[in-house]
Structure 1
Amino acid sequence: MTAPAAGRPVRALTVDDLEDLAVGARVLAAGTEESAYHVALDWAAAELAAHGPVPLLPVDRLPGTGLCVAVTLAGASAALAEQLPTGEEPVRAVRAVERVAGRAAEAVVPLNAAAENALIALATAARCGLPLVDGDGCGRVLPLLEQTLFTLAGVAPAPLALATPSGDVVAVESARGRVEDLVRPLVLASGGWAVAAAYPMDGARLASCLVPGTVSRAVAAGAATGRARFAPWRPRSLCRGRIVAVEQSAGAYENHENGAAGPLTGLPGGPAGGTAAAVPHGTLGGVPDRVPLPSRPTSVLVEEDEGLRRRFRLEAHNEILLVLADGAPAASLPDQILMLSRTDRRVLDVERAVPGTAVEVVVIEAPAAWYTPEGRALARTGSGGTR
């Protein structure tokens, strides 16, 4: 095992930190599925109780030549509550990547540190006896496996491995851009979800493309209350008002979102077994020209009840992609756009928005790399938007 580089001391995440992490990890999660969230929370608690505290590695303590593996929930978070984990999925996925890579992993990193993903990454680190990297590959939430800053840095998600609750383990070696097409049917066949271990890379490479400090930031946010909970992200308020209408496309998927927690793999939706319409986007580094999105388009109309009294239209497809104020663009990807309940500052899922709800619409800036031409192109992959 490669010794971590010298730097800041390594703290450990304990059972006492878990509740704060769980609460803070929901700040960027616009569609958390409650039952799946609690399954992931109980899962992480059980692993910490069984295996003890998990070292949290800051970026300056990453093992330079040691293998680091990103972990995420692949598929629909709702399926996690319907087909419960055995607890073996993370270690099976990591071990499969180790076999392909020909060496042992030395650290686990969350693909993104939102909702279930942060908790499953922690459970993985505890189960595998590895440290958890204090950072992630997105710094925000995006639905597809290849929508990461790792991709922007030229790191491919494959070789990757999927471990399902049915006991299956599938290793995928693929050229960049083919991963979504291959993973989607595998996850569907597994019952709707799997743990994915992906983006194997050396610690030095990870340090160069990681969004640092996102795990510790979530812990700090979870320990705070009210507006202070969002303070680390410096949100900008767009409007305060009330939802007056919600419009949803009748011809799109049933909702198979992952609660903004794990990569959506474009699962065909619902009892009707429909297929999503593929939408065009720019090609980046081999990412396919057309990727289907797994949720249905939703528009939320909010009337401002103070100030200019404008009408805001929130256009969403798995997440809020665009905000128009009286028809003029007010925010769009790669900004993280959230709709908060004014009653308890909870992040609301647009698919469950209800007319009459008092809300505040806020914008959180994404990491700077998302605002480059390449970052903007990758962020809108599958969104059909133009910027």
Structure 2
Amino acid sequence: MEKIKTITRADMADVALGGAFLGTGGGGDPYIGKLMAEQAIGENGPVPVIGIDALDDDALIVPVAMMGAPTVMLEKLPRGDEAISALRSLEAVLGREADAIFCIEAGGLNSTIPIAVAAAAGLPIVDGDGMGRAFPELQMVSMTMFDVHACPMAMADDKGNALVLNTVDNLSTEKFARVITVEMGGAGLIALYPMTGAQAKRAILRDSLSLIACIGRIITAEQSANRNPADRLAADLGGMRLFEGRVTDVDRRTEGGFARGQAVIEGLEAYQGRSLTLKFQNEFLLAEEDGTPAAITPDLICLLDLETGQPITTEQMAYGYRVIVFGLPSDPKWRTDHGLELVGPKYFGYDIRYQPIEEINAKKLTERR
């Protein structure tokens, strides 16, 4: 995988595509963040990308992100300066300016907004993130596993409000911030998890932006060649097609600051006569084929348009879409006991045992033979 060194306006289309794929249906619509980043880069120049190991140990590293239900962002566009406002509020509390920005997750809007902030603030962005995908709650980051505190955390909305939280632990940060996000109209921009370069070297997942850009380039190249990118993505990323079919039912609601629900997909072609259900909380968390798990959080469940290979988010998914359900193993950190405690199926209320996606599907292939 080629490491990305700078992000230009020309790179943003691929970054948005790759972020939408790794967002596992969540992370917000990358198109909005893409436009914001393109404008900021056009006004301020390309954004330097810095590797985690190149950070000074005493540098201040801050992630910025959107918090809330992705469905809200379809109608409630950001004003444009909320993320910078959150960053400045956090810097005021800390008494120093940030030295670099990074993405809290590798997904959708939250893989593009930090680039816009980095460009506007004249800062580099770190080639890493806190999830390697997208998860719905603030404490669900690799930083939690390494005792990095989410607070102080700054929040800003489209009306000009800004505030700073201090809580006793990262789960409490999620609970208080989620209530405030609802009061902000369902979405807000945040800056949190301030950490030193030394902490970042231990806690952040590496090379996320390079991976996002690489995935975007693969999707773009395969689309240009009139091929669905699923096969190339499977070969290059170690992923797999889980199912192909048509969306026949979507039950989606915005509840408690999340987009929650499920979708039913009826099989086509080789999958004729079979049915798969996707369950989501902002992100796709569980895929069940005829009642049997096909993929389980924290492994990645991604949705691609069957004809174009375009990634589909949970808020875009609709009746009649012909789709490929694609699976990808999660970062090994999420498969540890601590990782599964944070983002495993039990946390989300699914009474099933986590099984790695490659083991589930190897067993399915054996059974079908």
Q: Normalising TM by the smaller chain, what interval?
A: 0.7 to 0.9
How far did residue 376 of structure 1 move? 1.0
| Equivalent residue, structure 2, for 1:359 | 323
Provide closer, same or farther for how the CA distance between residues 213 and 232 of structure 1 changes in structure 2, counting only shifts above 3 A. Answer: farther
How far did residue 108 of structure 1 move? 0.5
| Equivalent residue, structure 2, for 1:385 | 350
Determine whether 1:344 maps to 2:308: yes
Equivalent in 39, 42, 45 of residue 38 of structure 2: 45
| Equivalent residue, structure 1, for 2:207 | 213
Q: Percent identity?
A: 29
Determine whether 1:61 maps to 2:25: no
2:60, 2:27 → 1: CA distance? 32
Provide closer, same or farther for how the CA distance between residues 297 and 19 of structure 1 changes in structure 2, counting only shifts above 3 A. Answer: closer
How far did residue 46 of structure 1 move? 1.3
Equivalent in 106, 115, 125 of residue 113 of structure 1: 106
Question: Structure 2: which amino acid aligns with 1:67?
Answer: L
SS at 1:157 equivalent: coil
Question: Structure 2: which amino acid aligns with 1:56?
Answer: V
TM-score (norm 2): 0.83
SS at 2:155 equivalent: strand
| Equivalent residue, structure 2, for 1:371 | 335
| Equivalent residue, structure 1, for 2:189 | 195
Does the aligned pair in 2 maintain the 1:147–1:378 contact within 8 Å? Answer: yes
Equivalent in 126, 136, 140 of residue 133 of structure 1: 126
Question: Structure 2: which amino acid aligns with 1:345?
Answer: G
Count of residues paired in the alignment? 339
1:247, 1:341 → 2: CA distance? 16
Determine whether 1:96 maps to 2:89: yes
SS at 1:296 equivalent: strand
| Equivalent residue, structure 1, for 2:365 | none
Provide closer, same or farther for how the CA distance between residues 315 and 193 of structure 1 changes in structure 2, counting only shifts above 3 A. Answer: closer
1:244, 1:157 → 2: CA distance? 38
1:122, 1:244 → 2: CA distance? 33
Structure 1 runs of 4+ aligned residues shifted over 6 Å read none
Provide closer, same or farther for how the CA distance between residues 154 and 329 of structure 1 changes in structure 2, counting only shifts above 3 A. Answer: same
Greater shift, 317-326 or 176-185, is seen at 317-326
| Equivalent residue, structure 2, for 1:18 | 12
| Equivalent residue, structure 1, for 2:167 | 174
Question: Structure 1: which amino acid aligns with 2:31?
Answer: H
Does the aligned pair in 2 maintain the 1:304–1:312 contact within 8 Å? Answer: no
SS at 1:255 equivalent: strand
2:71, 2:285 → 1: CA distance? 22
1:294-309 mapped onto 2 (5 Å cutoff): 294-303=258-267, 305-306=269-270
Does the aligned pair in 2 maintain the 1:243–1:354 contact within 8 Å? Answer: no
Does the aligned pair in 1 maintain the 2:23–2:108 contact within 8 Å? Answer: yes
2:272, 2:4 → 1: CA distance? 49
Equivalent in 136, 153, 156 of residue 149 of structure 2: 156
Greater shift, 163-172 or 351-360, is seen at 351-360
1:358, 1:245 → 2: CA distance? 10
TM-score (norm 1): 0.79
2:68, 2:142 → 1: CA distance? 20
Question: Structure 1: which amino acid aligns with 2:152?
Answer: P
How far did residue 339 of structure 1 move? 2.7
2:167, 2:122 → 1: CA distance? 28
2:39, 2:69 → 1: CA distance? 22
| Equivalent residue, structure 1, for 2:254 | 255
Does the aligned pair in 2 maintain the 1:221–1:230 contact within 8 Å? Answer: no
Determine whether 1:315 maps to 2:279: yes
Instruction: State the Cα deviation string for residues 265-304 of structure 1 (Å, max 9, x = none).
Output: x32xxxxxxxxxxxxxxxxxxxxxxxxxx23331414336
How far did residue 244 of structure 1 move? 6.4
How far did residue 330 of structure 1 move? 2.4
How far did residue 192 of structure 1 move? 2.6
Does the aligned pair in 2 maintain the 1:69–1:107 contact within 8 Å? Answer: yes
Determine whether 1:234 maps to 2:238: yes
2:250, 2:184 → 1: CA distance? 32
Determine whether 1:328 maps to 2:298: no
Provide closer, same or farther for how the CA distance between residues 21 and 171 of structure 1 changes in structure 2, counting only shifts above 3 A. Answer: same
Does the aligned pair in 2 maintain the 1:29–1:347 contact within 8 Å? Answer: no
Instruction: State the Cα deviation string for residues 81-123 of structure 1 (Å, max 9, x = none).
Output: 5444343322221122222223221111110121111111001
How far did residue 17 of structure 1 move? 1.5
| Equivalent residue, structure 1, for 2:158 | 165
How far did residue 191 of structure 1 move? 2.7
Does the aligned pair in 2 maintain the 1:72–1:121 contact within 8 Å? Answer: yes
1:309, 1:200 → 2: CA distance? 51
SS at 1:295 equivalent: strand
| Equivalent residue, structure 1, for 2:22 | 28
Provide closer, same or farther for how the CA distance between residues 360 and 138 of structure 1 changes in structure 2, counting only shifts above 3 A. Answer: same
5+ residue gaps, structure 1: 1-7, 257-265, 268-293
